[in-house]
Structure 1
C-alpha cells in the first residue's frame, strides 16, 4: 500500500463515519472564493457605538474607522430592521468597486461603486460578520477586518 492508497482509505473512513456537514463545506468554499492574497488589510481602529446626537431626530448610527498603510476607510452603519446600510468614504479619495463579504451572501453578491470622491453607500447588508473589499482602479485592493454588524 502506498501513501495515496492510505490517504484514500482514511478519507473514505471519515466520509462514512463522520461526514463534514454541508454548511461547513459551503463556508469553506466561500472563504476560498473570498481570498484576496495581495490585498492590504485595513484594521479596525475605532468603533463608536450608536448614539443619537443632541437635538437630532432619527436613529443613531455606529461609526467605524479602519486604517491601513497610506489610508483609511470610514463607515457609518445605520440599522433598518434586520438589514444594515453602510455609508462611507475612502481616504485618500479614489474610485473603487466595493464588495461585501458575508457568510449569507455569495461572492460578488453585494457590490457597489465608490465614486471618484471615494464615497459609497451599500444598502441591504444582512446583520452578522461583515468585511468589505475595495478593488481600486490601479489593480490593488484593500480589505477591512471582520466586524459584527
Structure 2
C-alpha cells in the first residue's frame, strides 16, 4: 500500500465515522463569498468546451465596467481583459497570484486543477471578479 492508498483509507474512515457537519460546509462557503462582497460580479455570457478530447475551456464574462475572456488549458490560464489595466489576480480556494496585464493579455501557469476565478480592477478602480469556474 502506497501513501495515496493509505490516505484514501483514512479519508473514507473519517467520512464514515466523523463526517463534516453540513453547517460547517455552508458556513465555509458563506465566508468565502464575503471575500468579494465589495466586488462587482462579472456575469458569464459565453462558455465553450470541447465535448471530446482535451481541448481548452473558453469562457467570457461581462460586467458594467469590464469584459474578461479566459482560456483554461490544463494548468495554464490565459485571459484578455478590456476596461482594466495593471494586474489580474488568479484565485483558487487556496491561493492568490497576481499576474501583469500587458496590452490586455495576461497568463498564469501552474494553476492547480479545481476552482478558479479572476479578479481585476476596472479603469475607474471598481473591483470586478468572475464567478468560480472549474478548471
* Superposition TM-score, scaled by structure 1 size: 0.61
Deviations 1:83-141 (A, max 9, x none): x211111124x313211221232xxx3211112x2211111111111111113464321
Q: Provide the residue aligned with 1:118 in structure 2.
A: 104
How many residue pairs get matched? 113
Shift of 1:34: 6.8
Q: Which runs of 5+ in 1 are unaligned?
A: 1-17, 53-58
User: Closer, same or farther in 2 for the Cα pair 1:34/1:100, shift >3 Å?
Assistant: farther
**Bigger radius of gyration:** 1
* Superposition TM-score, scaled by structure 2 size: 0.67
Contact 1:51/1:61 (<8 A) preserved: no
Q: Which runs of 5+ in 2 are unaligned?
A: 1-17
User: Closer, same or farther in 2 for the Cα pair 1:28/1:110, shift >3 Å?
Assistant: same
- RMSD of aligned alpha carbons: 3.2
Please state if 1:101 is matched with 2:91.
Answer: yes
